[in-house]
Amino acid sequence: MKTNLKFRRVAAIGAGMTPFRRRMLETPQEMAWEASRRALDEAGLELRDIDCVVIGSAPDAFDGVHMKGEYLAHGAGGVMRPSSRVYVGGATGVMTAIAGWYHVASGMCKKVLAVAEEKMSTGRPHPQAVFRYIWDPITEKPLNPNLIWIFAMEMHRYMFVNKVSKEEIALVSVKNKRNAASNPYAQLGGEITVDDVLRSEVLVWPVQLLDVSPVSDGAAAMVFVDGDIARRYTDTPIWVEGVGWTLDNTSWPNRELAYPRYLENAARMAYRMAGIERPQKEIDVVEPYDPFDYKELHHLEGLMLAKRGEAPLLLKEGFFDKDGDIPSSPSGGLLGVGNPIAAAGLMKVISIYWQLKGTAGKMQVKRPVHTGVAQAWGDLMQASTVMVMRN
C-alpha cells in the first residue's frame, strides 16, 4: 500500500502492566487503572497531561460486560477526553498500540494513553464458550466447532507440509516457559522438558495441554507522544518506525493453513515504512504471537525471519534463543507470561519497548538490540498486526 500522507514521528516513553494471573480479584477497571498508572509513572506524566485514550479489548463476554470500551474508560482514564476502542480479536493488543500511534502520527493528539485489558477467567464454564457464536451459521455452526479444533487442523497442516515433528514444536514451549521464569509478570514460567509437553493431556490431536497458553487475566498500557516533545520526558525515547495490519477473509477452510499470508502482508507494510529490506539481517529481537507453540514458528516464517518450513530447524540450532541471533519471545511469550488476549498483544509491544530501552531487567537479551518487532494475530486465523520499533 502506498500513500502520500505525511506522518508525525511518534515515540513510546512509558509502559506498565499488571501481573498476568488466573482469577485476579481486581475488577477489569481496576486492572486497567493499575497498568495505566504504571505507564504514566514511567513516562513522568499525570492523567491530566493525556490528550486521548485508546482502549483495546477482545470479546465483551470475557468480562461479562457489553460495550466494554465504555465500561473500561473509567479505569483507563478515558472519561471526558477523546476515547475509542479497537478490536480485531487476538490481534487487538498490537492494534491498540497502532491506534495509539496513529492518533499521534496524524497530529490529532500530542500524548496518548493506550490501554489493553482482558479478564478471561469469568467465562463459564470455560472461555472457549465465548467463541460459540463466531462461526458461520450455515456452513460451520452445525458442526459445533471450537477454536482448539481449528487450530489443531492448522497445526497438523503446518507439520504435514513442512515435515515437522511434535518434538520440534515442543521446543517452543520449553524455550518460552524458561524465558518467562525471568519475567516478574509471568503466570507460568519454569523449566519443562520436551517429554513434559509430549506427556501432557491431549486436547485435540496434535494439540496437547502444554502446547497451549493458559487462561489469564491482566492489563497493559503504554504512553505514546509526538516526537517533537518526547525528549522533554526521557533521554531514551523508543521510536515507532513501522506499523502494518491485514485482514484475510473468513473462509479459513479454503486457505492454505501452512503459511500465514495475512501476516506476511502486514509485515511487508510495516517493514516498508521502517525501511527494512532484509528482515533476518536487520531485526535484532522479536516478539511473535504464540498462543500455541506451533504459532511462534508459523509467525516467525510469516515475519520473514525464517524461510517457509525453516523455523523449526533454526529454533533447534539456538537461533531464536535469548542469546541467539534473533531472540524470540524473551518475555516468555503467551505460553509463559499468560494470555489475557488484548493485554497479551500489548505485552508483546511493551517487551520490545523495554528491550530497546535496556530496562528489561532479567529479561534483557545479552547482545545489543536496536530494532525490534512485535506481532499479534487473531479472529478466524485471518487478522495480523505488526509494529517495528527502534532506539
The answer as to whether 143 is a domain residue is no
Overall average pLDDT of the 232-244 stretch: 97
State the DSSP H helix or E strand holding residue 155, giving kind and residue range, or none if neither: helix 147-162
Per DSSP bridges, beta strands 383-390 and 371-378 are antiparallel
Give residue-wise pLDDT tens across range 13-64.
Answer: 999 999 999 888 999 999 999 999 999 999 999 999 999 999 999 877 777 7
269: exposed, middle or buried (Cβ count in 10 Å: 0-12, 13-18, 19+): middle
The answer as to whether 138 is a domain residue is no
Overall average pLDDT of the 226-242 stretch: 97
Which pTM value belongs to this model? 0.96
Residue pair 101/10 in contact (Cβ under 8 Å)? The answer is yes
The answer as to whether 153 is a domain residue is no
CA pair distance 225, 343, nearest whole angstrom? 20
Overall average pLDDT of the 310-326 stretch: 97
More confident of the two residues 25 and 133: 25
DSSP-assigned letters across all residues of 26-72 = S-HHHHHHHHHHHHHHHHT--GGG--EEEEE-S-GGGTT-SSHHHHH
What type of residue is 25? Answer: L
The answer as to whether 146 is a domain residue is no
The answer as to whether 103 is a domain residue is yes
Tell me the chain's radius of gyration from C-alpha atoms: 19
Grid coordinates 470479546 are at which residue? 59
State the DSSP H helix or E strand holding residue 302, giving kind and residue range, or none if neither: helix 293-302
* Per-residue pLDDT, 3: 59
More confident of the two residues 125 and 325: 325
Is the per-residue pLDDT at 261 higher than 90?
A: yes
pLDDT band at 146 (very low <50, low <70, confident <90, very high): confident
Overall average pLDDT of the 369-377 stretch: 97
Q: How far is CA 80 from CA 46, 73, 77, 226, 253, in A?
A: 15, 10, 9, 21, 45
CA pair distance 375, 304, nearest whole angstrom? 12
Domain that holds residue 344: 8-123+211-388
Helix axes 147-162, 166-180, angle to 10 degrees: 120
Is the per-residue pLDDT at 4 higher than 70?
A: no
* Per-residue pLDDT, 1: 55
pLDDT band at 169 (very low <50, low <70, confident <90, very high): very high
Q: In 10 A of CB 252, how many CB atoms?
A: 17
Give residue-wise pLDDT tens across range 88-131.
Answer: 989 999 999 999 999 999 999 999 999 999 998 887 777 777 78
pLDDT band at 289 (very low <50, low <70, confident <90, very high): very high
DSSP character at residue 265 = H
pLDDT band at 144 (very low <50, low <70, confident <90, very high): confident
The answer as to whether 196 is a domain residue is no
Please report, for the domain that includes residue 81, its CATH number: 3.40.47.10
Domain count, the chain: 1
The answer as to whether 47 is a domain residue is yes
Mean pLDDT of the chain: 94
The answer as to whether 130 is a domain residue is no
CA pair distance 45, 223, nearest whole angstrom? 9
CA pair distance 138, 130, nearest whole angstrom? 19
Overall average pLDDT of the 169-191 stretch: 97
User: Widest CA span of the chain, in angstroms?
Assistant: 58
Is the per-residue pLDDT at 5 higher than 70?
A: no
* Per-residue pLDDT, 136: 86
Overall average pLDDT of the 75-96 stretch: 94
* Per-residue pLDDT, 99: 98
The percentage of the chain sitting over the pLDDT mark of 70, rounded to a whole number, equals 99
CA pair distance 29, 20, nearest whole angstrom? 15
